[in-house]
Amino acid sequence: MTTQTETIDSVLTESRVFDPPSPEAVGAPRWLIEDEATYKRMHAESIENPEAFYGSAAKELHWFRPFDKVVEFESPDAVWFKGGTTNLCYNCVDRHVAEGRGNAIGLVWEGEPTDADGAPEVVSYTYSELQAATSRFANALKARGVKPGDVVTIYMGMVPELAIACLACARLGAVHSVIFGGFASHSIVDRVKDADSSIVVTCDGAWRRGKVVPLKANVDEACAALDGAVKTIICLKRCGNEVAWEDGRDVWWHDAVENEPASCACAELDSESTAFILYTSGSTGKPKGIKHTVGGYMVHTYLTSKYVFNLIPGLDEPTRQLPNGRPLSGQVYWCTADVGWITGHSYIVYGVMANGVPTLMYEGAPDCPDCDRFWDIVERHKVTQFYTAPTAIRAFMKWGRAHCEKHDLSSLQVLGSVGEPINPEAWMWYREVIGRGVCPIVDTWWQTETGGHMLTTMPGAHKTKPGSCGVPFFGVDAAICDEDGTEIEGGGGLLCVRRPWPSMLRGIWGDRDRFIETYWQKFDVNGTVSAGKPSPYYFAGDGAQRDADGYFWIMGRVDDVINVSGHRMGTAEVESSLVAHPAVVEAAVVGIPHEIKGTGIAAFCILEPGSKPADAEAAKALKQALRAHVGEQIGAIAKPDLLRFTDALPKTRSGKIMRRLLRDIAAGNEIAGDTTTLEDRTVIDKLLADES
């Protein structure tokens, strides 16, 4: 069935609906939001009276000075919790100590390498230990001249010191800029330059799939290109690999903290002072430094973590032992993202730690030493909340369910998905194989720019539908507009947010114009934009539709939405259909210029190993079968005009398919624009060389 609107046609229909389970069914202590009526009441209050709703939510956290006003907004500038002073590190660490939970575990870390018996290294920190560690490192930063407002660049592997470095910056009021450890040295150059940062925190190396990624060497290379702009490098010894050293500039982490006192007061920061910047790619090659502030970011990530993952801290009696022998009670939350992405900032570090539930960090790859590593971790640590990305889920599907079935996953209470639309096939697999057919899946839609969850379900409150990210979180006023900013009730359009939310971005570092152009000029609401003023609506850059129950279905970035013969279609929908075919493991769909249709559809497919065609004849037959399959699932309009088989897709290191590169390849154009965020350049070279 095809629903047609003026803007985007959604052509995928998914009718499966699952009721929320009882807490007993998944072993949860209780659901914080017990039913849909409670959600609706709280959501209505949060929209009608944000002052009251967010005012009282914010008071669950510590403020040195109480705020005078909850929110002020003059597009595009929001001020949240005006006049209040607080500190993220205080709320994530010291508050728990002050409330008598200093001996509770706050952070658990597992290294990638395993010993001869197959046992990995496990390290855990209590809140008291975190208080000491963040204080020592904050003092070490201070001793090297770091002041509130200075930008500290952090380029590390997934070690506990990464979280500690972020929290130490937060303690001082320094602004961190974390660069994902998988990026190469030129990404460091761009970001250090843009942020005007003179100090870099790094590691000698990072473990990844049994190999050492030479982080310090990458920083050295970047510094060479930065002409002395970096004055200090603090280097954590992790892998013991050989590193070059520049005396006077370089200092080992252990030496830097050795004589520092284990106490350091948390700076009393204005709610609107900058907490961090995080670079993300936009439609141009130059990454944008997305700026977040202390108070609003803290409150929104705290509140979303609490309700979306159902975090319940402080169950007092130890119920089990960690693999390293320390006692642990209650929940263990695990997000598999890297702290180098917004998901790691918000839902490994700040939001989760502010709730006082232990957060688990894993250093390495999911297939090291074997494809069951994640499930081994879930079993050994008795993980209760598990948050990952659809691209990972599809990899697990490909590796086969036997890896999961080897392990006891019965500790899991809530499953989460983030980063891209999840295709219903992967959703169902996640629920059945990982979630024992009972765990609720929260599919959370949000962005680096939004800081925290925007659209999601809550585990005890909402029915779930495979492929839908659910409904607006508290305080989020989401709508779907057409190109002119007119709201659309049914059908697809452009996702926008009609009023400010606490963790909204406060700007692009050093680029006010780009901030306004990118996010605040799309919708000419009440003629604001025509009058030369920013729109009151935030433009998310995603296409979406809302169904009769008010559930949102993300159709991908609007630049990934294609218009075929005047029908717009979400590329994610065609991809979802392709991967639903047994021969296809992963697919990427882009638009290509087409003489008659305007835009045609090009699909790049990774095939199941057993389905790879033996010769050209077989390849042709399979392509025909796939076209027929998509035609059957969606309609003739969605049949790919061009189908290519490939062994890999060009992806960013966070796993996002770089569609603009595929568009160039499909259209036979030169590869234009930046390719520095590409994980593996050879993927592109192979696609260019091979016409299959």
Instruction: List contacts with ligand WTA (CB under 6 A).
Output: 280, 342-343, 417-421, 443-448, 469, 540-542, 554, 557
Give the whole-angstrom CA distance, residue 653 versus residue 182.
7
Q: Of the two residues 161 and 338, which places its CB atom closer to ligand WTA in the complex?
A: 338
Q: How far is the CB of 300 from ligand WTA (least distance, A)?
A: 13
Q: How far is the CB of 448 from ligand WTA (least distance, A)?
A: 3
Give the whole-angstrom CA distance, residue 615 versus residue 578.
21
Q: How far is CA 351 from CA 160, 306, 359, in A?
A: 16, 8, 10
| Residue nearest ligand WTA (C-beta atom) | 448
Q: How far is CA 129 from CA 144, 255, 388, 394, in A?
A: 23, 18, 28, 38
Q: Is the peptide bond before 76 cis (omega within 30 degrees of 0)?
A: yes
Q: What are phi and psi of 338, to 5 degrees?
A: -100, 145
Q: Of the two residues 168 and 540, which places its CB atom closer to ligand WTA in the complex?
A: 540
Q: How far is the CB of 255 from ligand WTA (least distance, A)?
A: 36
Q: How far is CA 338 from CA 76, 222, 335, 342, 349, in A?
A: 30, 22, 8, 9, 10
Q: How far is the CB of 555 from ligand WTA (least distance, A)?
A: 9
Q: How far is the CB of 449 from ligand WTA (least distance, A)?
A: 7
Residue 16: partners with Cβ closer than 8 Å, 6 or more residues away? 424, 428, 465, 466
Q: How far is the CB of 564 from ligand WTA (least distance, A)?
A: 20
Q: Of the two residues 453 and 639, which places its CB atom closer to ligand WTA in the complex?
A: 453
Q: Of the two residues 293 and 391, which places its CB atom closer to ligand WTA in the complex?
A: 391
Q: Of the two residues 112 and 443, which places its CB atom closer to ligand WTA in the complex?
A: 443
Q: How far is the CB of 403 from ligand WTA (least distance, A)?
A: 24
Q: How far is the CB of 408 from ligand WTA (least distance, A)?
A: 28
Q: How far is the CB of 551 from ligand WTA (least distance, A)?
A: 12
Q: How far is the CB of 424 from ligand WTA (least distance, A)?
A: 12
Which of 135, 154, 138 shows the shortest CA–CA distance to 146? Answer: 138
Q: Are strands 359-362 and 333-335 parallel, antiparallel or unpaired?
A: parallel
Residue 15: partners with Cβ closer than 8 Å, 6 or more residues away? none
Q: Of the two residues 324 and 447, which places its CB atom closer to ligand WTA in the complex?
A: 447
Amino acid at 342: I
591 strand-pairing partners? 601
Q: How far is the CB of 454 from ligand WTA (least distance, A)?
A: 9
Q: How far is the CB of 656 from ligand WTA (least distance, A)?
A: 7
Q: Which two tokens stand for residue 686?
A: 């192979």
How far the first Cα of the chain sits from its last, in Å, is 32
Q: Are strands 492-497 and 471-472 parallel, antiparallel or unpaired?
A: unpaired
Q: Of the two residues 217 and 561, which places its CB atom closer to ligand WTA in the complex?
A: 561
Q: Of the two residues 338 and 420, which places its CB atom closer to ligand WTA in the complex?
A: 420
Secondary structure in 3-state letters for 48-70: HCHHHHHHHHHCCCCCCECCCEE
Q: Of the two residues 7 and 124, which places its CB atom closer to ligand WTA in the complex?
A: 7
Q: Of the two residues 176 and 403, which places its CB atom closer to ligand WTA in the complex?
A: 176
Give the whole-angstrom CA distance, residue 457 versus residue 471.
6
Give the whole-angstrom CA distance, residue 459 versus residue 19.
10
Q: Of the two residues 140 and 544, which places its CB atom closer to ligand WTA in the complex?
A: 544
Q: Are 624 and 639 in contact (CB under 8 A)?
A: no
Q: Are 207 and 179 in contact (CB under 8 A)?
A: no
Q: Are strands 206-208 and 199-203 parallel, antiparallel or unpaired?
A: unpaired
Neighbours of 214 (CB within 10 A): 19
Q: Of the two residues 441 and 666, which places its CB atom closer to ligand WTA in the complex?
A: 441
Angle formed at CA 408 by CA 402 and CA 410, multiple of 5 degrees: 120
* Residues counted in the chain: 692
Q: In degrees to the nearest 10, what's the CA dihedral of 588, 593, 596, 600?
A: 0
Give the whole-angstrom CA distance, residue 85 versus residue 77.
19
Strands (E), 390-537: 414-418, 441-444, 455-456, 471-472, 478-481, 492-497, 507-508
Q: Of the two residues 276 and 445, which places its CB atom closer to ligand WTA in the complex?
A: 445
Q: How far is the CB of 657 from ligand WTA (least distance, A)?
A: 11
Q: How far is the CB of 337 from ligand WTA (least distance, A)?
A: 9
Q: How far is the CB of 529 from ligand WTA (least distance, A)?
A: 21
Q: How far is CA 525 from CA 23, 101, 498, 499, 679, in A?
A: 43, 49, 10, 12, 39
Q: Of the two residues 270 and 420, which places its CB atom closer to ligand WTA in the complex?
A: 420
Give the whole-angstrom CA distance, residue 677 versus residue 663.
16
